[in-house]
Structure 1
Amino acid sequence: MVEGVFRPGLEWRALSVVICAGLALLLPWRRTRPLLVVAVTFGVCGVAPLLVGGPFPNQDVLVYMVLLPFALFRWGSGREAVVGAAIMFGKVGIDTALGFLGLGDALAGVGVLFSAMALGAAVRYRSRARGRELDQVKLVERARLARDLHDTVAHHVSAMAIRAQAGIATAATNPDAAVDALRIIDAEAALALDEMRGMVRILRADGPADLSPGPRVADLARLEPPVEVTITGDVDGLPSPVSAGIYRLAQEAVTNAQRHARHATRVVVRVAADDHEVRLSVCDDGDPTGRPGGSAGYGLVGMTERAELLGGTCEAGPAPGRGWTVTAVLPRVAP
């Protein structure tokens, strides 16, 4: 509108402003309806010259139309891209045939359209490749979590089987011992059922599983390289998925510190548990420069995925002053 008011020598000034401003209002839909926006915009700009008998509208602000071929190839389907490209190149061809565009201008227009389309296709490909990489990281983390849960449940079932065999063997001579075995089996079954509910939403790759329990919070002191571990609160009664999740999150954070923390002299792991949640903090005193953070680090993606599957959160970033901190909060009872 500013160009239409102040630009000297602009033909059909009012109509040009109406067309340019009206077509600009379609830009918010270029991602959700790319073909429709391309068809309307290039259609109007193709019909307008026929009505006035010359190139029209010719305001410089129409450069925003370069966004449309990019958006078409970035967010449109393959069929929409083909149809939209035909519309855009067809518009250039018609203007050239009617003499509204010279050959040089037509070739330049084709070059601009092709460049915008190629850029949109490249961004689309890169975005999909990135999405596949992130999905793969999430699937690997889901498989690890599912395996932890499976191994823990298998441990409970193994314990139940052993107690059942002992109860059968002593039932005839010591009925009280058989009753005690049944109580233990009942408790183990309740734990196993609780943890199996957490497996329902998680995919697991086929593979053998041993009958030993998975790592828990109490095993943090065995992390390599050696780290300073501080545990406060009741962690012995944590459900196995939560306890194993805290261990795996700490393990990944320590591994990242070992790989990326320059000039680090210590890594501190703190676990604090209360009646409602468990908080994990892993801090190092290394140089944060060059450390992966946000969406750039696949390790953080896997840690975030594990925490979310357990109903919690996980964040990482530079610590005040110096170092790097990973903080995770998990509910005491996993969903």
Structure 2
Amino acid sequence: MFELLRSVWREARPVPTPPPAWWDWALVGVLVPVAVLEGVLRAGLDWRWLSVVVCAGLVFTLPFRRSRPLLVVAIAFGVCGLSPFVVGHAFPQQNVLVYMILLPFALFRWGSGREEVLGAAIIYVKLGIDAVMGFLPFGDALAGFFIVSALMAVGAAVRYRARARHRELDQVKLLERERLARDLHDTVAHHVSAMAIRAQAGIATAAADPDAAVDALRLIDTEAARALDEMRGMVRLLRSDPAALSPGPRVTDLTRLPPPVDVTLTGDVDDLPAPVQSAIYRLAQEAVTNAHRHARHVTRIEVRVDAGDTEVRLSVRDDGDPPGRTNGSGYGLVGMAERTELLGGTCEAGPAPDRGWAVTAVLPRATR
């Protein structure tokens, strides 16, 4: 139990913490007039203008509930906890204070372990003082205790669910990086082997045929340039399992995809670097798999590869009904975006203008 409490105390805040957004200030713009109107129009309200100032003033803490959750809780619950000692009864009494239910949730969603413990102590002490001093009926204080605890639990659940989701996304990206690293490894090994063979041939023929040796050097220079280009694509890639390396697929392998896939290749696709070849194939393969898995009534899947002088464009479209398919929500789409980004390209997925689903990726001919 002690170790559990110590781990909670040392828990860091979620990263990154979102700054105040426009809807936070829009909420302020709505709640402040509501607090003023309630204070002016509500009958039988004690310390009317002080109540208005407190309720409207505390609204301005809401935009900072994510970046400074403990400070916001301390200010809001501290003011509401000390005010009854000034006026002699429960204060303030305006209904607009319901917005304070956002603070316990934000505390456990965005606060560190220390902030959670200290903020929860402030909230519970405030409720306890109200009940003991008679500022709040015991039943209301007990209900407030359960409501606040439930909000804290929801905030903690959302926090840990987001953390689990982040870990899953990191795992998908890591697997995609390993896959790409495997393809690049095989490609570079191919170029190095070719250079070694050309060098041996040049050495063997140098004495009898100098021109052949020069041709071998030219080929070695070409292979070295390609290998260096593809080695640059391996920068910042991490790989944990060097086993089970296999040759990477090529763009021309797309023609082997079974019906109803219709493949069209235009431009010079044979001279593309191996990382780009493999990426195009993997992206198309994932898009076709998603079409079979998620779309209904698919009768045709069009795969088109246009190889230009500087970039290669992949387009995959199906004619199915895409119920439940959302842009960027799946791990497969995350992996596709990660692969294209590592090669300096872009990938977009979403509903087609007329019907079906469309995936479009653009990659440079030279790997980054």
TM-score computed with the length of structure 2 as normaliser: 0.86
- Measure how far apart 1:5 and its partner are: 1.1
Deviation, structure 1 residue 79? 1.0
2:49 aligned residue (2, 11, 14): 14
Equivalent residues of 1:147, 1:209 under 8 A apart:
no
Aligned 1:222-261 pairs, distance under 5 A = 222-224=256-258, 227-261=261-295
2:317 is aligned with 1:286: no
1:262 is matched with which residue: 293, 296, 303?
Answer: 296
Q: Residue by residue, what CA displacement relative to the aligned partner does 1:204-232 show, whole Å, maximum 9, x if unpaired?
A: 233236585x2222222123456211122
State how 1:12-161 maps to structure 2 within 5 Å.
12-161=47-196
Residue 142 of structure 1 deviates from its aligned partner by 1.1
Instruction: Check conservation: 2:182, 2:245, Cα contact below 8 A.
Output: no
Superposed CA offset, 1:157-214 (max 9, x none): 11111112222222233222222111111110111011101101211233236585x2
SS in 2 for 1:295: coil
Structure 2, unaligned runs of 5 or more: 1-35
Aligned residue type for 1:271 = V
Query: Could you tell me whether the CA contact under 8 Å between 1:151 and 1:209 is conserved in 2?
Result: no
Identity of aligned residues (%): 73
- Read off the aligned partner of 1:276 and give its amino acid letter: T
Match of 1:218 among 244, 249, 252: 252
Cα distance between partner residues in 1 of 2:152 and 2:282: 44
Match of 1:323 among 349, 352, 356: 356
Shift of 1:323: 2.0
Distance of 2:262 and 2:318 partners within structure 1: 10
8 Å CA contact 2:69–2:103 kept in 1: the answer is yes
1:300 is aligned to 2:327? no
| Number of residue equivalences | 333
Aligned counterparts of 2:157 and 2:277: Cα–Cα separation in 1 = 43
How much does 1:138 deviate? 1.0
* 301-310 or 271-280, which deviates more: 271-280
- TM-score under structure 1 length normalisation: 0.94
- Tell me the SS of whatever aligns to 2:127: helix
Larger mean Cα displacement after TM superposition, 133-142 or 317-326:
317-326
**Does the 8 Å CA contact 1:34/1:71 hold for their aligned counterparts?**
yes
Tell me which of 203, 210, 215 is aligned to 1:168. 203
Deviations 1:86-123 (A, max 9, x none): 00000011111111112101101101110110110111
Which residue identity does 2:184 align to in structure 1?
A: L
Q: 2:342 aligned with 1:309, yes or no?
A: yes
Q: Secondary structure of the residue that 1:184 maps to in structure 2?
A: helix
Which residue of structure 1 aligns with residue 18 of structure 2?
Answer: none
Q: Secondary structure at the match of 1:144?
A: helix
- Partners in 1 of 2:153 and 2:245 — Cα distance? 52
Moved more, 57-66 or 319-328: 319-328
Tell me, what secondary structure is at the counterpart of 1:296? Answer: coil
C-alpha distance 211-267 of structure 1, shift in aligned 2 (>3 A):
closer
Equivalent runs, 1:182-201 vs 2, <5 Å:
182-201=217-236
- 1:28-48, CA deviations, whole angstroms, 9 ceiling, x for partnerless residues? 000000000001111111111
- Residues 163 and 185 in structure 1, CA contact (< 8 A), matched pair in contact too: yes
Query: What secondary structure is seen at the aligned counterpart in 1 of 2:129?
Result: helix
Q: Look up the SS of the partner of 1:325 in the other structure.
A: strand
Residue 276 of structure 1: aligned partner: 310
In structure 2, the CA distance between the partners of 1:149 and 1:131, relative to structure 1 (3 Å rule), is: same
Residues 127, 271 of structure 1: alpha-carbon distance in 2 compared, 3 angstrom cutoff: same
Letter paired with 2:40:
V
Deviations 1:48-87 (A, max 9, x none): 1111111111111111111000000000011110000000
Aligned partner of 2:4 in structure 1 is: none
AA matched with 2:138: L
Aligned partners of 1:160 and 1:189 also within 8 Å: yes
Whole-angstrom distance in 2 between the partners of 1:26 and 1:266? 55
Note if contact 2:322-2:356 (Cα within 8 Å) is conserved in structure 1. yes
C-alpha RMSD of matched pairs (Å): 1.6
